[in-house]
C-alpha cells in the first residue's frame, strides 16, 4: 500500500499521499489540502516546498552529492566538455557523435548577433553593470527572433536553445568590450565554445591573443560546474515565468536578473570584493570571523553556506583543486587565495560555522580562478550565467512539457489591515 500522511486541522483529519523520489526523498502531496481542510501551507523562503517533479538534477545536501541526469558531477567535470554537458542536461542523454556535430554546427551558425542588436550596445553607458546589459539583451532576443515564439514547437525550441547558448557568449564579451571602450571582437567559427569566448574577451587590434589550452579547460570546467543546480532562485524564476507560457528568451532573461543578487550568483563578485577588502585593510582572519558571528553586524562570509548543502558543496572541492592548478600553471601567486584558504580553515574549526553546517560553496574559489585568467570582477556573475544556461533551458522545457502544467501561482496569508472604510483610511493620513 502506498504511504500516506495524516493531518488533523480544525477537528478534521485528512489523509494525503506521500510521493517518493528516485533517491527515496519523501514529499507530502498537498494538492488537495485546501479543498479538504480550507488550509494552505506557509513556508517562508520555500525551505520545505517542492515546487515541481524534475528529472534533471539530483542534490543530496546532507552528504554533498550533485548529479546531472544521474551522473556524478565529478565524473561529468572530468570527462565531458561544456557543450556535451549542456546536451546531457537539456536532452536527458549524451549526444551521439552525429548529434554532437550537428549541435556544434548550430552553435557556430548562431554565434553572430543581428547588426541592430550590436548597435544597441552603444545605447548603454560604459559604466553599466554587465549583468544589466545581459538581462536586457537576452530579453531583446525575443524582438530579433519572432519566428521562435511558438513555445510548443520542438524544432523552434531546439533552435532557440542553440541561439541562447551561443549568443550569450557574444553578448557577454561585447558588453565587456563596450565597458572598456575597445572595439568588439567578432566570434570565429574555427574556435571551440569556450576558446571563442576568451578570444572575444581578450583579443584586441593590437595583440595576438591566443588562449592557453589550460585556461580554456579551466573556464570550461567552471561552466560545467555551473550547468544546473535544481530549484535555486534563478531556475525557479525561469520556471515561474515559463509557467505563464512566456517564451524561452524572456523566461531566461528573468533568470539572469534573479541570478544577479549577492545571495545567489552575485556572490562570486561579492567574495572577491570581500577578499580584496580584507587584503587591502590588512584585517586579521580572527577579526573577519568575529564580524561574521556578530549579531549586530550584517556581514556574512561570502561564498559560505547554502540552503541545500549542509556538507561540502562538491563543486567547491573541484574548483579549489582547479584553482591551485591554474595558478601554478600560470605561474601566479595570489594573496587572495591564501586569505581564502585561511578563512576556510578558520571557519571550518569554529563552532559558529560547524553548528550551522556552513561550508564553502561554489562561489568561494571560482572568483580566484576567473581573476587569474584576467576576467574583471564585475563579469564574474555573467560567467555564472553562461554556465547556468543549460539548466535554465532544461527547466523551462520541463515546465513546458509537464502534461499537468498549471500557471505557478502561490497563495499568501494576508496580515494587513482588516476591512475599513475609505474615510477612515484618509483620516489616518490627515492626523
Interface positions with ligand CMC (CB under 6 A) = 45, 232, 263-265, 267, 292, 300-307, 356, 358, 361-363
Using the minimum distance from each CB to ligand CMC, give the nearer residue, 62 or 99: 62
Instruction: Sort 313 into a burial class: Cβ within 10 Å, 0-12 / 13-18 / 19+.
Output: buried
Smallest separation, CB 270 to ligand CMC (Å): 7
Tell which residue, 233, 201, 208, has the closest CA to residue 378: 201
Smallest separation, CB 305 to ligand CMC (Å): 2
Q: Which of the following is catalytic: 199, 228, 306, 313?
A: 306
Residues 6+ apart with CB under 8 A from 368: 272, 275, 323, 327, 334, 336, 337, 340
Smallest separation, CB 366 to ligand CMC (Å): 9
Smallest separation, CB 45 to ligand CMC (Å): 6
Using the minimum distance from each CB to ligand CMC, give the nearer residue, 148 or 227: 227
Using the minimum distance from each CB to ligand CMC, give the nearer residue, 103 or 304: 304
Residue nearest to ligand CMC (CB): 305
Question: Could you confirm whether 306 is annotated as catalytic?
Answer: yes
Question: Could you confirm whether 363 is annotated as catalytic?
Answer: yes
Using the minimum distance from each CB to ligand CMC, give the nearer residue, 327 or 385: 385
Using the minimum distance from each CB to ligand CMC, give the nearer residue, 118 or 307: 307
Smallest separation, CB 205 to ligand CMC (Å): 36
Q: Please identify every residue annotated as catalytic.
A: 306, 363
Amino acid at each position: 500500500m502506498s504511504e500516506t500522511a495524516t493531518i488533523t486541522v480544525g477537528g478534521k483529519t485528512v489523509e494525503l499521499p506521500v510521493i517518493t523520489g528516485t533517491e527515496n526523498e519523501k514529499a507530502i502531496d498537498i494538492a488537495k489540502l485546501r479543498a479538504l481542510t480550507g488550509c494552505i501551507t506557509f513556508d517562508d523562503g520555500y525551505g520545505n516546498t517542492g515546487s515541481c517533479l524534475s528529472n534533471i538534477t539530483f542534490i543530496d545536501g546532507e552528504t554533498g552529492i550533485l548529479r546531472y541526469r544521474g551522473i556524478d558531477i565529478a565524473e561529468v567535470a572530468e570527462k565531458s566538455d561544456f557543450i556535451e554537458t549542456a546536451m546531457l542536461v537539456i536532452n536527458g542523454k549524451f549526444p551521439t557523435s552525429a548529434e554532437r556535430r550537428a549541435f556544434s554546427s548550430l552553435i557556430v551558425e548562431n554565434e553572430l548577433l543581428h547588426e541592430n542588436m550590436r548597435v544597441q550596445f552603444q545605447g548603454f553607458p560604459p559604466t553599466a553593470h554587465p549583468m544589466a546589459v545581459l538581462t536586457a539583451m537576452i530579453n531583446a532576443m525575443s524582438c530579433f527572433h519572432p519566428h521562435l515564439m511558438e513555445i510548443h514547437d520542438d524544432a523552434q525550441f531546439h533552435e532557440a536553445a542553440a541561439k541562447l547558448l551561443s549568443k550569450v557568449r557574444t553578448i557577454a564579451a561585447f558588453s565587456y568590450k563596450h565597458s572598456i571602450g575597445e572595439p568588439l571582437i567578432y566570434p570565429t567559427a574555427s574556435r571551440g565554445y569556450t576558446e571563442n569566448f576568451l578570444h572575444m574577451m581578450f583579443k584586441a587590434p593590437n595583440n595576438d591573443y591566443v588562449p592557453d589550452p589550460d585556461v580554456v579547460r579551466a573556464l570550461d570546467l567552471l561552466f560545467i560546474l555551473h550547468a544546473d543546480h535544481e530549484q535555486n532562485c534563478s531556475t525557479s524564476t525561469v520556471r515561474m515565468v515559463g509557467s505563464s507560457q512566456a517564451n524561452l528568451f524572456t523566461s531566461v532573461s528573468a533568470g539572469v536578473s534573479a541570478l544577479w543578487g549577492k545571495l545567489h550568483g552575485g556572490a562570486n563578485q561579492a567574495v572577491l570584493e570581500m577578499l580584496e577588502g580584507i587584503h587591502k585593510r590588512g584585517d586579521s582572519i580572527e577579526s573577519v570571523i568575529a564580524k561574521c558571528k556578530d549579531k549586530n553586524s550584517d556581514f556574512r562570509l561570502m561564498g559560505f553556506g547554502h540552503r541545500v548543502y549542509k556538507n561540502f558543496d562538491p563543486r567547491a572541492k573541484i574548483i579549489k583543486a582547479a584553482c591551485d592548478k591554474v595558478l601554478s600553471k600560470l605561474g601566479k601567486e595570489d594573496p587572495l587565495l591564501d586569505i581564502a584558504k585561511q578563512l576556510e580553515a578558520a571557519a571550518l574549526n569554529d563552532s559558529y560555522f560547524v553548528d550551522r553546517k556552513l561550508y564553502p560553496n561554489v562561489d568561494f574559489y571560482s572568483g580566484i580562478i576567473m581573476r587569474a585568467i584576467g576576467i574583471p570582477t564585475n563579469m564574474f556573475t555573467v560567467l555564472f550565467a553562461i554556465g547556468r544556461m543549460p539548466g535554465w533551458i532544461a527547466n523551462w522545457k520541463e515546465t513546458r512539457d509537464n502534461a499537468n502544467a498549471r500557471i505557478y501561482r502561490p497563495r499568501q496569508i494576508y496580515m494587513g489591515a482588516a476591512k475599513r472604510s475609505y474615510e477612515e483610511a484618509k483620516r489616518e493620513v490627515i492626523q
